[in-house]
Chains A and B, each alone.
Chain A
Amino acid sequence: AQSVTQLDSQVPVFEEAPVELRCNYSSSVSVYLFWYVQYPNQGLQLLLKYLSGSTLVKGINGFEAEFNKSQTSFHLRKPSVHISDTAEYFCAVSANRGGADGLTFGKGTHLIIQP
């Protein structure tokens, strides 16, 4: 079984400042890692994924994440945020490449961009 901990439930950041959303996971097997974003009244959209290879993963909207196996972390970063980045962000893991066994999600981090 896997578990995901998102260390911050809310992160307020000023516009154009950098941001890091933290994610730690626990698993007895190798996992695949994902970050999703959810805008109000919408479903989830995939930002990026780590399946194998380079530990630095680049995604959409200028986001990137780094997989750290020794620290079992997969933190999400963006060098300069915009008002439109205000949303809920979810870290997720799966023991299956496509998540057929179901994605295990963290509780989410609400990113609040302040003008």
Chain B
Amino acid sequence: KAGVTQTPRYLIKTRGQQVTLSCSPISGHRSVSWYQQTPGQGLQFLFEYFSETQRNKGNFPGRFSGRQFSNSRSEMNVSTLELGDSALYLCASKDPDGYEQYFGPGTRLTVT
């Protein structure tokens, strides 16, 4: 099976802009989670989607949002970008009957 794919891999944006990141889970996986990784804060949970519904959300401002489509693909959006949003954004998919989250390679976002 193909692994979790994330596009784009690298992105450079300017403060105030918005950005959309995409994640395609492993075929058959219906749960998708998003994490932000920064040198200062480490890995932090953003939100989790299952069957197009957000089930859980981490402690992030409303500028961070996401959605999931009927084919389980997920997008996350960050509006009004700030310098502190520069990070590696990781997506993970999981089969609901399983225990392991499979991570994608991430999207490296740089905000200038």
A42 at the interface (CB under 8 A from B): yes
Please name all residues of chain B whose beta carbon is closer than 8 Å to the beta carbon of A108 when the two chains form the complex: 42-43
Is A51 within 8 A of B99, CB to CB?
yes
B58 at the interface (CB under 8 A from A): yes
Is A103 within 8 A of B101, CB to CB?
yes
Is B94 within 8 A of A99, CB to CB?
yes
B50: nearest chain-A partner, CB-CB: A100
B56 at the interface (CB under 8 A from A): yes
Is B90 within 8 A of A104, CB to CB?
no
Please name all residues of chain B whose beta carbon is closer than 8 Å to the beta carbon of A97 when the two chains form the complex: 99
B18, chain A: closest CB distance, angstroms: 24
- How many B residues have CB within 8 A of the partner chain? 26
Which listed segment binds A: B64-72, B73-81, B103-111? B103-111
Asked whether A102 and B100 contact (CB < 8 A) given A42-B105, A90-B43, A107-B42, the answer is no
B42: nearest chain-A partner, CB-CB: A107
Is A98 within 8 A of B103, CB to CB?
no
B44, chain A: closest CB distance, angstroms: 8
B91: nearest chain-A partner, CB-CB: A43
Q: How far apart are the CA atoms of A105 and B42 in the complex, in Å?
A: 8
Please name all residues of chain B whose beta carbon is closer than 8 Å to the beta carbon of A42 when the two chains form the complex: 105-106
Asked whether A43 and B106 contact (CB < 8 A) given A100-B50, A100-B55, A104-B45, the answer is yes
B99, chain A: closest CB distance, angstroms: 5
Instruction: Pick the contact of B42: A43, A49, A98, A106 (CB < 8 A).
Output: A106
Q: How far apart are the CA atoms of A66 and B90 in the complex, in Å?
A: 28
In the A-B complex, the 7 residue pairs with the smallest Cβ-Cβ separation, listed nearest first, are: A102-B45, A43-B103, A105-B43, A44-B103, A107-B42, A43-B105, A101-B56
Chain B positions within 8 Å of A, measured between CB atoms, are: 4, 31, 33, 35, 42-45, 48, 50, 55-56, 58, 90, 92, 94, 96, 98-106
Chain A positions within 8 Å of B, measured between CB atoms, are: 32, 36, 41-46, 49, 51, 90, 92, 97-108
